[in-house]
Amino acid sequence: MTALTLSNVCKSFGKVDVLKNIDLQVEDGEFVVFVGPSGCGKSTLLRVIAGLEDATSGDIRIGGQLVNQTPPAKRGIAMVFQSYALYPHLTVRDNMALALKQEGQPRDVIDARVSEASRMLNLEPYLQRRPAELSGGQRQRVAIGRAIVRQPKLFLFDEPLSNLDAALRMNTRIEIANLHRTLKGSMIYVTHDQTEAMTLADKIVVLRDGRVEQVGSPMELYNNPANQFVAGFLGAPSMNFLPAARVGAEGGRTIGIRPEHLTIAADGPLSGKVVHVEELGGDTNVIVDLGKEEKLTVRLFGQHHVSPDSPVSLGYDPQNAFMFDQEGRRVA
């Protein structure tokens, strides 16, 4: 069964079209990540799915049912917000129980589900506290708990990790991945962070200017990007783009080479000057200026000592290069 089907969904605010003809399927138990630069419409799309915004046109089906006219509470969804959005006047337990109370669930069901969720998220010691007495990570876990207790057909996450610091972000990321494995729920996750997208997703949806650019598994998108935008958006450091004529390559206008596919080679076809070196321990990023404002990033694995301002020649394997045409479409 499909958890979510979007067909031809459009959304405009006045004269501005934010979403343009979105078609998408989310299968049962799938973890789908919407990723794209800010302003690409990914959060709006999530809000349209949640029912917080009405779609201007198109159909939204959750679990096979048309929900265009259904209020958010009746759509069988649960949402986790970036700012946690916990109710400040309720304890952790009541925060999690509120939606079930509103649904009119019996008391023992509510108690069972809340204790199950708090056990899963290690929230048991904090059940009587109020959100103000919790740390950021704990608050986010309560927000996730509030979603879990509803046993929704579809989980929606709106940049849930953006307010956490780097170490906590990684831990919570792993926790969410584990949660997905144990709950086997269908999840939609919005982020602008491509690392989160690559590590969590079964399927990534890359959005730009309200359009779906490409849909696929993380490795599919990485190894086989449909266009220059997707190629440049996924992967860190991002892909290098050069006019194809510069390296004498045929069959396209722009050539794209990932930083890890460039090598420092004395007889390489590209030569320039090292402008900056980033030594990260595990790998080393070398930024090379080819002149004419063209800069390339080379990613070397392991530790290398390259001094800035030294001349350098670069080589690459044409097999690992991507060719794009004038409109940025992938041609080879």
Partner 1 sequence: MNKARQNPLNSAAAHAVLIVYTIIALFPVFVIIVNSFKTRKAIFREPLALPSADSFSLIGYRTVMEQGDFFLYFQNSMIVTVVSLFLVLLFGAMAAFALSEYRFKGNALMGLYLALGIMIPIRIGTVAILEMMVASGLVNTLMALILVYTAQGLPLAVFILSEFMRQVSDDLKNAGRIDGLSEYTIFFRLVLPLVRPAMATVAVFNMIPIWNDLWFPLILAPSEGTKTLTLGSQVFIGQFVTDWNAVLSALSLAILPVLILYVIFSRQLIRGITSGAVK
Interface residues with partner 1 (CB under 8 A)? 47, 50, 52, 71-74, 77-79, 81-89, 98-99, 102-103, 146, 158
| Comparison of 15 and 292: residue with beta carbon closer to partner 1 | 15
Shortest Å distance, C-beta 237 to partner 1:
33
Residue type, 297: T
We find the least distance from the C-beta atom of residue 283 to partner 1, in angstroms, to be: 38
User: What is the C-alpha separation between 205 and 182, in angstroms, rounded?
Assistant: 23
Separation between Cα atoms, residue 298 and residue 262, nearest integer Å? 6
Least separation in angstroms between CB 204 and partner 1: 24
Q: How far apart are CA 82 and CA 307, in angstroms?
A: 42
In angstroms, give the least distance from the CB of 83 to partner 1.
5
What is the nearest approach in angstroms of partner 1 to the Cβ of residue 73? 3
| C-beta closer to partner 1: residue 132 or 280 | 132
Long-range pairs of 305-310 with CB within 8 A, sequence gap ≥ 24 = 306/264, 306/274, 306/277, 307/274, 307/277, 308/274, 308/275, 308/276, 308/277, 309/273, 309/274, 309/275, 310/273, 310/274
Judged by beta carbon, residue 150 or residue 299, the one nearer partner 1 is 150
**Given the complex with partner 1, which of 11 and 299 has the nearer CB atom?**
11
Find the shortest distance in angstroms from Cβ 72 to partner 1. 5
CA 164 from chain centre, in angstroms, equals: 16
Name the residue nearer to partner 1 (CB basis): 57 or 263.
57
Per DSSP, what are the bridge partners of residue 79?
156
- How many helices (DSSP H) and strands (DSSP E) are in the chain? 9, 18
State which residue, 163 or 199, has the beta carbon closest to partner 1.
163
Considering only CA atoms, which of 57, 27, 43 is closest in space to residue 215?
A: 27
Residue 101: which H helix or E strand, with range? Answer: helix 92-103
